[in-house]
Structure 1
Amino acid sequence: MTTSTPAPTPVDVFPGWAQLWRRSRWFLAAAAFVLLVALLISGLGGHREYPPLDPRDTDPQGTRAALHLLEERGLTTRTVSTEDELTAALAEPGSTVVVPFTAPMPSRQLVLLGRQHRGSDSRLVLIGPDNNALAAITPDIKRVPDTARGPLYEDPIAVDPGCSLPEATRAGRAELGGTLYEPGNGDVGCYAVDGHPSLVRHTDPGSREIVVLGSAWALTNDRLDEEGNASLALGLLGSRRQLVWYLPDYSNMSTVEQSKSLADFIPAGWNWAALQLGIAALLTALWRARRLGPVVTEELPVVVRAAETTEGRARLYHRSKARGRAADALRRAARHRIATALGIPLSTGEPDPAALCAAVADRVQQPATDLHALLYGAAPTDDAALLRLTDQLDALERQVRQP
């Protein structure tokens, strides 16, 4: 009779979800923390940059504080960035239009600005205009030349108005300077530095009015609360019902539209976030890939023989009077050796007691009950009984092996 060996059960080497979670939860938590920090840096840490004198900018070089004061007085303020919006603002009655930068503007746009402003009742405020802008808009006003260094420029300082302009007389002493100008016939020059005014007002026979400022120092957030700067700013910018600030994108003045790549649409903060994620991934890889060095073989200082180990354990049993534990160890070892000699299978590490006793009784011709008492009996009560048990087990094993 042949018996077929059952096929081995396939072992699933894939770890369970619980084990995967225990292994990777700290890495996931670290990745989530790095991602959160990157999002905070890119979303909250990123500060939107504005050009100088931008009315939306709250930095020291911005002009948000002046516009806030004007809005509290009931003025309507807005920012325009295209020629069409500027044309519409100049055509609206009761407007003050501020052009803080004229140097980047092309001559065509400057001429168009001067032409559109003629015949309107708006006030045009030019800050630091050069001779090209003055020639196109108000030819009577010119920069003060300085043959050694070009146009004369003086750092802003606190100076008295020295003129009859109502806005200047109300403000009194203010911080003016910058580019200095030569006013034309009928123009009013104020806040002279080195004998040349840094503020000039030009009026036409109609209601058209142009104000030229050599420096916007007095309008900035950082200097608005010094001297009479705030009063001067409110007077120059708040004489009409609405204030329009012209801030075009000077970097895109050319008529050729440049094509943008995908990277141009990614916010700058995300570059730092990607860099931090890359550094975190690299550090994690280096941490997980660390090596403890090659395996070092080391000889044991002492070789202990098996007999000495057995004797040492026996002495420990004797010292603690663990006769029951010692008897169990002797009986278990004897049962395993006898079962192996008789070919009795071991189920769950132990042979079946009934089968073992029956096989041994048939082999040595002794009652099965006596053999069961010997192999599975009670613990000995003293050392002499333990020694007798040892001798009986040895004799039984010899009889099984050599009947």
Structure 2
Amino acid sequence: MTNAERAGRAGARGGHGARRAGAELWRSARGPVAVGLLVLVTGLVVAALAHRPAAGLLNPEAARPEGSLALVRLLRAEGVAVTAVRTSAEVAAAGPDTTVLVTAPRRLAAHQVDAVRRSAANLLLVDPGREVLAGLAPGVTEETLFAPVDTVPPACALAEPAGPAELGGVLYAAAAGVRCYPGEAGAALVQVTEGARTITVIGTPVPLTNDRLAEEGNAALAMRLLGGKPTLLWYLPMPEAAPVDQRRGLLELLPSGWLWAAAQLAMAAVVAALWRGRRLGPVVGEPLPVAVRAVEVVEGRGRLYRRSGDRGHAAGALRAAARARLRARLALAGGDEPAEVLVDAVHRRTGRPTADLRALLYGAAPTDDPALVRLADELDALEREVRQR
């Protein structure tokens, strides 16, 4: 072999060894690399979720079309302190120098409506619904529920500086107060006075959203309604626990019709059970699926006696069977005669002492298995003796 061939073989062995070492290194590093990639992906997902932009209708921090971040910035630029609140207690504590915007009045529970009513601040309700209107805007009623949102002239001194605005949705009527932006039946904006505060109701959130704020007189109307006081509470209602004295159980929350329906269903179930019920007929004998020989039953019972160690019960069964056969052999009347009658009859037939016969037929239970076997043998021997004489 030449030197060149030796060098080639050595190089080949070296290359194979390098590939082998690389494969072993990759196998040992796969676990840490996978864990590192998993941690990296998890961190990216958490970071993406944590920095999601705010969203939601009339959300004061949302820059999306349905949000109200643009209006909040306009109000703050005019010196209005805008604060987002989520509890009715914060609204109830508001004073007369505050305006409260209730973004979703239909979400308010009864105790939350009571808390908002206790506030001394001016209120702006956006599409409140009949129940909230009755609690917060007395005298205001819904007239049209599905009016189209369109550009409507103000037709009132309150909104005259703002000019036409995009309103609609729900139209209202008020027994006393200001009615603006009229439609075919009702007005899209009404304002009533309660004591020292004003309560304004509009039927749509459109003029307060980022998407439509710059259209028509929407921005001017929003600033006029929300910028009149130095403080604005932007109320985003959230579910709250009811006071203890107002909490009700499950049965109290169910409509009365549900209880009557449950009672009727129960009566129907009873009637159906009586109708479909069947009286028990006579006992029907059925053949056993397997025929068991009598000797197997006896052997099985004997094994049970042996397993339980109940020699007294086994001895009693042997003696009772032997006495029955002896009575039949000696033609005695029945099994309820005194022991002396059977003992005397066997004594006359066999001549055995009565004391031995009494001990054999009515004696104590054996104390061990050999004694039990001896008892069985002695009983068999006595029966054979009676038969032979």
**What is the distance in 2 between the residues matched to 1:55 and 1:130?**
22
**What is the distance in 2 between the residues matched to 1:228 and 1:197?**
17
Question: What letter corresponds to residue 39 of structure 2 in structure 1?
Answer: L
Once the 2 structures are TM-superposed, how far is the Cα of residue 41 of structure 1 from its aligned partner? 2.5
**What is the distance in 1 between the residues matched to 2:58 and 2:140?**
23
The verdict on how the C-alpha distance between 1:26 and 1:71 changes in structure 2, with shifts beyond 3 A counting, is: same
SS at match of 2:107: coil
What is residue 259 of structure 2 aligned with on the other side? none
Of the candidates 72, 79, 88, which is equivalent to residue 83 of structure 1? 88
What is residue 321 of structure 1 aligned with on the other side? none
Question: What letter corresponds to residue 38 of structure 1 in structure 2?
Answer: T
The verdict on how the C-alpha distance between 1:139 and 1:93 changes in structure 2, with shifts beyond 3 A counting, is: closer
**What is the distance in 1 between the residues matched to 2:39 and 2:199?**
54
What is residue 133 of structure 1 aligned with on the other side? 132
The verdict on how the C-alpha distance between 1:161 and 1:31 changes in structure 2, with shifts beyond 3 A counting, is: same
RMSD of aligned C-alpha atoms? Answer: 2.8
* Residue 188 (str. 1) matches residue 178 (str. 2): yes
The Cα offsets for residues 294-324 of structure 1, whole Å up to 9 and x where unpaired, read as: xxxxxxxxxxxxxxxxxxxxxxxxxxxxxxx
The verdict on how the C-alpha distance between 1:196 and 1:39 changes in structure 2, with shifts beyond 3 A counting, is: same
**What is the distance in 1 between the residues matched to 2:127 and 2:184?**
17
Q: List aligned pairs for 1:227-266, cutoff 5 A.
A: 227-250=216-239, 252-253=240-241
* Residue 39 (str. 1) matches residue 43 (str. 2): yes
> Structure 2, unaligned stretches of length 5 or more?
1-20, 248-389
* Residue 95 (str. 1) matches residue 98 (str. 2): yes
* Residue 170 (str. 1) matches residue 181 (str. 2): no
What is residue 209 of structure 2 aligned with on the other side? 220
Q: List aligned pairs for 1:291-310, cutoff 5 A.
A: none
Identical residues among aligned pairs (%): 35
Which protein, 1 or 2, shows the higher relative CO under an 8 Å CA cutoff with sep ≥ 6?
1
SS at match of 2:191: strand
**What is the distance in 2 between the residues matched to 1:106 and 1:69?**
31
* Residue 65 (str. 1) matches residue 70 (str. 2): yes
**What is the distance in 1 between the residues matched to 2:193 and 2:185?**
22
Once the 2 structures are TM-superposed, how far is the Cα of residue 137 of structure 1 from its aligned partner? 1.7
State whether residues 89 and 115 of structure 2, in contact with CA within 8 Å, keep that contact through their aligned partners in structure 1.
no
The Cα offsets for residues 68-104 of structure 1, whole Å up to 9 and x where unpaired, read as: 1101111111112223211112xx2310001122222
Question: What letter corresponds to residue 62 of structure 2 in structure 1?
Answer: D
SS at match of 1:97: strand
Of the candidates 124, 128, 146, which is equivalent to residue 153 of structure 1? 146
What is residue 59 of structure 2 aligned with on the other side? 54
Once the 2 structures are TM-superposed, how far is the Cα of residue 62 of structure 1 from its aligned partner? 1.3
Once the 2 structures are TM-superposed, how far is the Cα of residue 37 of structure 1 from its aligned partner? 3.1
Once the 2 structures are TM-superposed, how far is the Cα of residue 111 of structure 1 from its aligned partner? 3.4
SS at match of 2:44: helix
**What is the distance in 1 between the residues matched to 2:184 and 2:82?**
35
SS at match of 2:196: coil
**What is the distance in 1 between the residues matched to 2:155 and 2:213?**
20
What is residue 200 of structure 1 aligned with on the other side? 190
SS at match of 2:180: strand
Once the 2 structures are TM-superposed, how far is the Cα of residue 45 of structure 1 from its aligned partner? 4.8
SS at match of 1:124: strand
Once the 2 structures are TM-superposed, how far is the Cα of residue 109 of structure 1 from its aligned partner? 2.9
Question: What letter corresponds to residue 87 of structure 2 in structure 1?
Answer: T
**What is the distance in 2 between the residues matched to 1:59 and 1:66?**
12
**What is the distance in 2 between the residues matched to 1:215 and 1:156?**
8
The verdict on how the C-alpha distance between 1:192 and 1:45 changes in structure 2, with shifts beyond 3 A counting, is: same
Higher helix proportion (structure 1 or 2): 2
Question: What letter corresponds to residue 182 of structure 1 in structure 2?
Answer: A
Once the 2 structures are TM-superposed, how far is the Cα of residue 152 of structure 1 from its aligned partner? 2.3
SS at match of 1:161: coil
**What is the distance in 1 between the residues matched to 2:111 and 2:89?**
14
State whether residues 105 and 129 of structure 2, in contact with CA within 8 Å, keep that contact through their aligned partners in structure 1.
yes
Question: What letter corresponds to residue 105 of structure 1 in structure 2?
Answer: L
State whether residues 105 and 237 of structure 2, in contact with CA within 8 Å, keep that contact through their aligned partners in structure 1.
no
Question: What letter corresponds to residue 130 of structure 1 in structure 2?
Answer: G
What is the TM-score normalised by the length of structure 2?
A: 0.52
**What is the distance in 2 between the residues matched to 1:135 and 1:142?**
8
Once the 2 structures are TM-superposed, how far is the Cα of residue 19 of structure 1 from its aligned partner? 8.4
